[in-house]
Amino acid sequence: MTGWFSFLHGEATAGDVLALARVERVLRDAGSAYDVVWSPGFRADGTHFADVDPAAYSRLVFVCGPVHGAQVEELHRRFAHCVRVAVGVSVVDAGSPAVTGFHRVLARDGAGNGPGLDLAARAPALPAVPVVGVVLTHGQHEYGGRRRHEEVAAVLTRWLAGRDCARLELETRLDAHDWRLCGTPAQLEAVLSRLDLVVTDRLHGLVLALRAGVPALAVDPVEGGAKVTAQARACGWPALVPAERLTKASAEGSAEGSAGGSAGSSAEGSAEGMLERWWDWCLADGRAEAARIGAGFRTAESVPDGVPDAADGLMAALREASEAAAGR
């Protein structure tokens, strides 16, 4: 089983991999054994063309994508002794060697017949995974030597890459001209409200997530704590990791790994352990807590958890400042 997801300089798209899953199910249901060849750039631990002995196979199935170009033609040469079938593919040039080299082409489109349903449409049902917004900052240079933004971002993004979740990079900055950014707070809140979790090292990443009733796994990127820590306390939100704990645990974990591990080391004390503990809490009890806090924000008659914001004292401050200025 091969496709564009198999080539070193090809690409693995979600549609291609789902198309593969559809064909795999057909082969499994028929009791046919098969191997899948993956690009080493996509699945380093998979079976690659460099590992494959063509003589060990009698049939080759090419799944999805356009049957066109030198890489497909090379398959015909390398697996010349095999029965070769293309399934769910686009035929760009019916007379090209990439197409004519197959014994059968079960085309999706472009073969002179009516278009067929893409294989991905009928792929097996997928497991539900959480949708996670990632809101990070690489600025805030006003904190000088206390900044741990780069280290925090490196730990978070490396960890997130290994989580089974749908990651959505978000930006709190608004822009009326860049289509990739939200132009109004309402647009950003519409996105946040549809998430399961927000991972952030920004004050407004935390606040806007809670305002939308969505749990936030927050990391304060400033050593010793700064505005993210202060805001988490003001909101009564517990899912907060200090920068120094995260980066220290990560460094110690790397050192233990290079030294062959430590019998006394604990996953709970590692950077991953801390993040995973709060991740699990956010996706369980944290949902109700975030909804409660968000509802409190929206209730104008009451102050959430008894903590005011600065606007509550604005009118008094204006009066006092005016009286003081008049008395000069």
* Structural contact between residues 255 and 233, judged by C-beta atoms closer than 8 angstroms: no
Measured distance CA(263)–CA(185) in Å, rounded: 50
pLDDT value at position 261? 52
* Structural contact between residues 115 and 94, judged by C-beta atoms closer than 8 angstroms: no
- What CA–CA distances, in Å, run from 106 to 88, 90, 91, 121, 155? 6, 9, 10, 16, 46
User: Would you list the DSSP string of 55-100?
Assistant: GG-SEEEEESSB--SHHHHHHHHHTTTSEEEEEEEE-S-TTSHHHH
Q: How many CA atoms lie within 13 A of 289 on its CB side?
A: 17
For 202, counting Cβ atoms within 10 Å of its Cβ (0-12 exposed, 13-18 middle, 19+ buried), the class is buried
pLDDT tens per residue across all 328 residues of the chain: 999 999 987 688 999 999 999 999 999 999 999 999 999 989 989 999 999 999 999 999 999 999 999 999 999 999 999 999 999 999 999 999 999 999 999 999 987 777 889 999 999 999 999 999 999 998 888 888 888 899 999 999 999 999 999 999 999 999 999 999 999 999 999 999 999 999 999 999 999 999 999 999 999 999 999 999 999 999 999 999 999 988 777 666 665 555 555 444 445 578 889 999 999 999 999 999 999 999 988 875 555 556 788 888 899 999 999 989 988 7
The distance between the two most distant Cα atoms of the chain, rounded to a whole number of Å, is 99
pLDDT value at position 265? 43
Measured distance CA(137)–CA(81) in Å, rounded: 56
pLDDT value at position 21? 98
Q: At what angle do helices 149-161 and 271-282 cross, to 10 degrees?
A: 70
| Three-state secondary structure call for residue 2 | strand
* Structural contact between residues 87 and 23, judged by C-beta atoms closer than 8 angstroms: yes
pLDDT value at position 162? 93
pLDDT value at position 275? 95
pLDDT value at position 263? 40
* Structural contact between residues 193 and 168, judged by C-beta atoms closer than 8 angstroms: no
